[in-house]
Amino acid sequence: MDRLANAVILSWGWRRRGIAFGGGALSALAMPPVFAFPILWITLPVFVWLIDGALDQEPNGRVNRFGPAFSCGWWFGFGYFLIGLWWVGGAFLVEGDTFILLMPIAVLGLPALLALFWGLAAAVAQLMWSEDWRRIFALAATLGAAEWLRGNILSGFPWNAIGYSLTAGEVLMQSAAPLGLYALNVIAVLVFAAPATLAPAAGTERRHIALPSLAIVLMAALGLHGVLRLAYAEPTAVPDVTIRVVQPDIPHPTKWQPDKADEVLETFFRLSNPEAAPLEAGTVLVWPESAFPFPLTQEPARLAAIAEFLPQGTTLVTGAYREETGSEGQSQFYNAIYVIGDDGTIQQAYDKVHLVPFGEYVPAAGLAEWLGLRQLVDRGFVPGPHRRALSLPDGTTFAPLICYEIIFPGAVLGEDERPNFLLNVTNDGWFGRTTGPHQHFHQARVRAIEEGLPLVRAANTGISAIVDPYGRMLAHGRLGQSTMIEAALPAAIDPPFYAQWRMLLVILSIAVCMLIPFTKNLYRASAL
């Protein structure tokens, strides 16, 4: 370990950038579906040692630490996000004739942008840096704060936050209930960067074993908490409510062609009501995001066909796009969820609030059009006004979440009374059989645990599932599978600790970690 630490600390130039990039790239293996989180006990100490050696001599003789530390953090983050988000490029192959030229911009540009947060975290941590164990707390504070910023500023994109490394498997996943993802980000850095203190501090032979010991205790505590929480979990179901989810796996060339509308609808009918398991009263049928290649409200004949198909006492909840005429006579499109009764009446609707930048709308659309990117501008959606719960005919309520709206911790519920479950419809078919749909599904399960609410998830091509408030799958489909799944609706549990306190936990964890690096100076001052 001593040789590794010295080699990293003394590295220079492109060798140092290569080490940072490689460390970040390997760190991405800690994310789903691989979940090789032990790799972080190697890569995050390397990150610490890179910051240890991050300095540059300026012509005036002053030592610059901020810039070199930022460079280390950016290259580490660039490797992490490039390997973790490579699947984003798959979306540009679906309509390759139109978007293929934009693929390199997304595949390289998005990781480069997200890496700025890690670069800033490393640079600010350097301002509180020391040669002992306290520097681990400095990095935990700044990287935890950077991950919160990444999930909230501008549009926010908390995908593959480092804290997900502590949610591998159902046991560790329970740590989201008391802590939430953003506090787990801080704890993950403390746990996995701790071995960096086993290498002697600069100019000494002293090794600090207290923090690695604490890391072992923290991991054991998280595991024990998960075991006990699951052991005492008593699964219950909402009476007389059965959920049936359809995962059609409709290819994109078919899904978006209006002349294939009847074929698409027939696929949903066939999977929804097989001869071996006919629909029964009390069943809530759930179809995925943008289920139809047509605006449903403008197709009365097909809406009537749905009414004829639905048995009495059943309800359909489906994703669909909605079109209406704006005040200036132009068409406006909304990504929506409809609740449809057995008579074909649209009883309630929700329009997606948190749209995907450059996927569903274009920030600075005027600039994009000026740059000749009209193919992006012409495909924009209009956001809905606010989050709100929808209800089924029996009064059971749910929080509608379309696509990546489910990935934002603490932001999946509106201001209404707490619903009975989360409902997430998505179309992960854009990304094929890559790691992206697995990551999306895992983040949805973590939201269910944070909120103490069951999750019903319908995806066009995986991964559809019915999940209880502990993140356990009661029924699920596989990626790339055309199937139907069914289970009784799990009952919600009391709000977990995180759901009650939310931001307080994040603030406390970051604040404590920021104070610790200053304790050495306070001790020295008191001794004088």
Q: Could you read off the pLDDT of 428-486 as tens digits, one per residue?
A: 877 888 999 999 999 999 999 999 999 999 999 879 999 999 999 999 999 999 999 99
> Distance between CA 57 and CA 456 in Å, rounded?
57
Domain identity same for 320 and 414: yes
Domain identity same for 186 and 246: no
With respect to residue 369, please indicate whether it lies within any of the assigned structural domains: yes
Instruction: Decide if pLDDT at 524 tops 80.
Output: no
With respect to residue 496, please indicate whether it lies within any of the assigned structural domains: no
pLDDT cut 70: percent of the chain above it: 90
Domain of 431, in residue numbers: 240-490
Residue 255 annotated among the catalytic residues of the structure: no
Domain identity same for 294 and 414: yes
* Long-range CB pairs of 37-42, under 8 A, 24+ apart, other chains included: 37/165, 37/166, 37/168, 37/192, 40/165, 40/188, 40/192, 41/192, 41/195, 42/195
With respect to residue 495, please indicate whether it lies within any of the assigned structural domains: no
Instruction: Decide if pLDDT at 526 tops 50.
Output: no
Domain identity same for 174 and 277: no
Torsion from C-alpha of 90, 91, 96, 101, nearest 10 degrees: -90
| Catalytic residue selected from 403, 450, 451, 513 | 403
What pLDDT does 168 receive? Answer: 96
End-to-end CA distance of the chain: 36
> Distance between CA 440 and CA 406 in Å, rounded?
8
CATH number at residue 435: 3.60.110.10
Domain identity same for 383 and 281: yes
Domain identity same for 281 and 394: yes
- pLDDT tens track for 291-309: 998 899 889 999 999 999 9
Residue 513 annotated among the catalytic residues of the structure: no
Domain identity same for 259 and 211: no
| Catalytic residue selected from 72, 147, 255, 289 | 289
Q: How far is CA 296 from CA 250, 256, 321, in A?
A: 18, 13, 7
Domain identity same for 372 and 398: yes
- Please count the structural domains in the chain: 2
What pLDDT does 372 receive? Answer: 53
What pLDDT does 527 receive? Answer: 45
For residue 109, the one-letter residue type is G
| Catalytic residue selected from 255, 352, 405, 450 | 352
Domain identity same for 51 and 89: yes
> Distance between CA 131 and CA 389 in Å, rounded?
51
Domain identity same for 193 and 256: no
- pLDDT tens track for 175-234: 999 999 999 999 999 999 999 999 876 555 567 788 999 999 999 999 999 999 999 998
With respect to residue 45, please indicate whether it lies within any of the assigned structural domains: yes
With respect to residue 497, please indicate whether it lies within any of the assigned structural domains: no
With respect to residue 259, please indicate whether it lies within any of the assigned structural domains: yes
With respect to residue 337, please indicate whether it lies within any of the assigned structural domains: yes
Domain identity same for 262 and 395: yes
Mean pLDDT of 15-30: 97
Residues in the chain: 528
Residue 352 annotated among the catalytic residues of the structure: yes
Domain identity same for 279 and 218: no
What pLDDT does 380 receive? Answer: 76
Task: Look at 111-125, 367-381, 492-506 and tell me which has the smallest mean pLDDT.
Answer: 367-381
